[in-house]
């Protein structure tokens, strides 16, 4: 490993690095988020920073952008020491940041967003026309096309991200930090983003890419630094490493990247959906006639860019369709029709039908963040007879049950009394997964099971899902991670704009084909090739 540390080989060159960090440490209370970090990012390169959730990547970048003050250490920008006290200092030093959650004013135009905070004077007009000129030039140089007069909320997610990049470039950023930039993009949009980044690199810009996706690191970066538990454990040239090695560095042990599973042995149909339609409160049709079947002992994966009706589908099956919406069609579970509206359509009733649900957003839906772990283990099942007598809850019984689940699912720290908020993302998810899977549901609805979950926990959660399938249960898996869909599913259905675009078998399709379906193009039924680059 010593050979891979940054001082080995050609990593150190004579020219001053774009950014150099020396001995950066930062603690929050008793948590050491960054410990003695050294990092050297060469000018004109794409440098990946990879690490599990909570490894300290975001803290480090926040220090670089002036959001946090480091407890110790030095930052050099272009070879000169710099004390970054706030984001204004960082911007003046040529550092630009594209956040995971965009910081755009939704009802402003692109142009207004770009000059926001960088106006030249009290009057807006001169700034706006100057920005228009700069924008035109940037669009030409880097394929960064956005309509400057469009209101941001009308833009697709990929275009909103471009506005964020343009904002940074408009402020003359030389060093661009992107925090998990592809989380919200389709594969095609992600490809386009990478082309933009390559263009920026060709112009001599330096790019720091924070991600947890190994594939992206391998695809686009020149060098990669790995963080684990607040420390920088390695900096290597991408060409000289492999995904397996990076995964091992991140987790600190060997990780199986691919799910090991036997072929499915599907039995009787468990879930039957016929012509399911949903019109939301504003009159928009979100589901436009869904037909799906899932058999016992089968995982059906639903691929798609988020926002194409997957959330609505999960909510309806979970018993809580959006307020004010109208749902029609037929859904049967084990032959029994599920109520789709009215007071009988609620999540408690669904649980009584033995339908489990791991929701898309554990922090907003799946857990009460201020509740202790043991209370969260009972959450949703708090009416269960084994959890109490009559109106009162039996705390001891729930705690015993919770302790068992926490132990079997290796939740860390193994503490019943810790509030859900104080667990890492992966361990929070394990609490939800333990709660739902150990009830042994006939049908398990799963939304984004591993979003924001570290690699070690992903492996564990995938294994448990496959075990449930092997126990003869039906599983509906919704995920925006194509890799996850490909490796877990026995069948894949692609959702686009409230419809099922098509069904494929994971062995007989490619991410390319699924990507097209996710963008609404059925290559099998439309022989003429479509110009996708115009789409995205």
Partner 1 sequence: MTRMPKWADVILTPLISLVLAMAISALVILAIGESPTVALTTMIDGALGSSYGWGFTLYYATNFIFTGLAVMVAYHASLFNIGGEGQAAMGGLGVALVLLSLPLPHWALALPVAMIGAALFGAAWALIPAWLQAKRGSHIVITTIMFNFIAAAALNYVLVNLMRPVGSMDPASARFPDATHLPKLSDMALALGFEWGKNTPVNISFFVAVIACVLVWLLIWRSRLGFEIRAFGKSEPAALYAGINPVRITVIAMLISGGLAGLMAINNVMGEAERLVLNAVEGAGFIGIAVALMGRNHPVGVFLAALLFGFLYQGGGELALWTSIPRELIVVIQALVILFTGALDNMVRMPLERMFLAMRKKGA
Residues in contact with partner 1 by CB under 8 A are: 27-31, 318-320, 346-351, 357, 359, 361, 364-371, 375, 378-380, 382-383, 388, 391-393, 395
Closest approach of Cβ 354 to partner 1, in Å?
14
Residues 6 or more apart in contact with residue 387 via CB below 8 angstroms: 378, 381, 393, 394, 397, 398, 401
Instruction: Identify which of residues 121 and 390 has a Cβ nearer to partner 1 in the complex.
Output: 390
Cα 343 from Cα 364, distance rounded (Å) = 23
CB 348, min distance to partner 1, A? 3
131 contacts: CB under 8 Å, gap ≥ 6: 111, 114, 115, 148, 170
CB of 410 to partner 1, least distance (A): 24
Q: Nearest approach, Cβ of 467 to partner 1 (angstroms)?
A: 24
Nearer to partner 1, 160 or 311 (CB): 311
67 vs 379 by CB, closer to partner 1: 379
Q: What's the closest the beta carbon of residue 383 comes to partner 1, in angstroms? A: 6
CB of 318 to partner 1, least distance (A): 7
Nearer to partner 1, 243 or 388 (CB): 388
* Least spacing, CB of residue 320 vs partner 1, in Å: 4
What per-residue string of b and e applies to 477-498 under the rule 16 or more CB within 10 Å gives b?
Answer: bbbbbbbbbbbbbbbbbbbbeb
Question: CA 206, CA 95: separation in Å to the nearest integer?
Answer: 9
CB of 102 to partner 1, least distance (A): 22
When the beta carbons of 99 and 387 are compared against partner 1, the nearer one is 387
Give the whole-angstrom CA distance, residue 32 versus residue 25.
8
Helices 187-202 and 124-142 pack at an angle, to 10 degrees, of 100
Give the contacts of 130 (CB within 8 A, at least 6 positions apart). Answer: 120
For partner 1, the closer of residues 1 and 392 by Cβ is 392
Which one, 259 or 347, has the nearer CB to partner 1? 347
Q: Which is nearer to partner 1, 191 or 375 (CB)?
A: 375
For the chain, the 3-state helix, strand and coil shares in percent, each to the nearest 5, are 35, 25, 40
Torsion of CA 423, 310, 330, 297, to 10 degrees: -60
CA distances from 87 to 26, 97, 117 (A): 18, 9, 12
């Amino acid at each position: 490993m010593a050979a891979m540390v940054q001082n080995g080989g050609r990593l150190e060159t004579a020219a001053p690095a774009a950014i150099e960090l020396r001995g950066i440490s930062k603690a929050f209370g008793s948590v050491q988020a960054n410990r003695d970090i050294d990092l050297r990012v060469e000018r004109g390169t794409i440098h990946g920073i990879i690490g599990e959730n909570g490894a300290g990547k975001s803290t480090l970048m926040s220090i670089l952008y002036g959001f946090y003050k480091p407890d110790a250490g030095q930052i050099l920008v272009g070879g000169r020491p710099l004390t970054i006290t706030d984001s204004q200092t960082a911007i003046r030093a040529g550092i630009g940041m594209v956040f995971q959650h965009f910081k755009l004013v939704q009802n402003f135009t692109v142009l207004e967003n770009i000059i926001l905070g960088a106006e030249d004077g009290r009057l807006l007009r001169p700034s706006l026309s100057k920005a228009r000129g700069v924008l035109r030039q940037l669009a030409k140089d880097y394929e960064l096309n956005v309509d400057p007069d469009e209101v941001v909320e009308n833009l697709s997610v990929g275009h909103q991200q471009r506005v964020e990049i343009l904002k940074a470039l408009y402020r003359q950023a030389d060093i661009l930090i992107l925090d998990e930039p592809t989380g919200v993009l389709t594969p095609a949009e992600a490809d386009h983003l990478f082309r933009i980044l390559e263009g920026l690199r060709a112009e001599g810009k330096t790019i720091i890419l924070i991600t947890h996706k190994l594939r992206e690191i391998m695809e686009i970066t020149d060098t990669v630094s790995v963080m684990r538990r607040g420390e920088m454990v390695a900096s290597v040239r991408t060409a000289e490493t492999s995904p397996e090695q990076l995964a091992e560095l991140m987790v600190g042990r060997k990780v199986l990247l691919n799910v090991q599973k036997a072929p499915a042995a599907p039995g009787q149909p468990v879930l039957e959906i016929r012509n399911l339609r949903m019109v939301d409160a504003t009159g928009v049709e979100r589901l436009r006639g869904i037909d799906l079947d899932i058999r016992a002992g089968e995982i059906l994966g639903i691929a798609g860019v988020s926002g194409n009706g997957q959330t609505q589908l999960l909510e309806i099956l979970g018993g809580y369709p959006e307020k004010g919406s109208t749902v029609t069609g037929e859904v049967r579970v084990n032959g029994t029709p599920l109520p789709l509206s009215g007071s009988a359509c609620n999540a408690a009733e669904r649980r009584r039908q033995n339908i489990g649900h791991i929701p898309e957003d554990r922090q907003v839906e799946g857990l009460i963040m201020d509740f202790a772990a043991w209370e969260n283990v009972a959450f949703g099942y708090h009416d269960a007879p084994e959890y109490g007598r009559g109106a009162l809850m039996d705390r001891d019984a729930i705690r015993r049950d919770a302790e068992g689940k926490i132990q079997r699912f290796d939740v860390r720290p193994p503490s019943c009394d810790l509030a859900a908020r104080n667990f890492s993302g992966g361990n929070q998810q394990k609490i939800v997964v333990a709660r739902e899977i150990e009830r042994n549901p006939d049908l398990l609805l799963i939304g984004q099971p591993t979003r924001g979950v570290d690699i070690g926990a992903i492996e564990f959660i995938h294994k448990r899902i496959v075990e449930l399938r092997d126990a003869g249960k039906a599983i509906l898996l919704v995920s925006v991670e194509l890799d996850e869909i490909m490796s877990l599913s026995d069948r894949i259905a692609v959702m686009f704009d409230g419809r099922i675009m098509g069904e494929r078998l994971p062995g007989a399709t490619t991410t390319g084909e699924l990507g097209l379906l996710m963008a609404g193009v059925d290559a099998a039924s439309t022989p003429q090739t479509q110009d996708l680059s115009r789409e995205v």
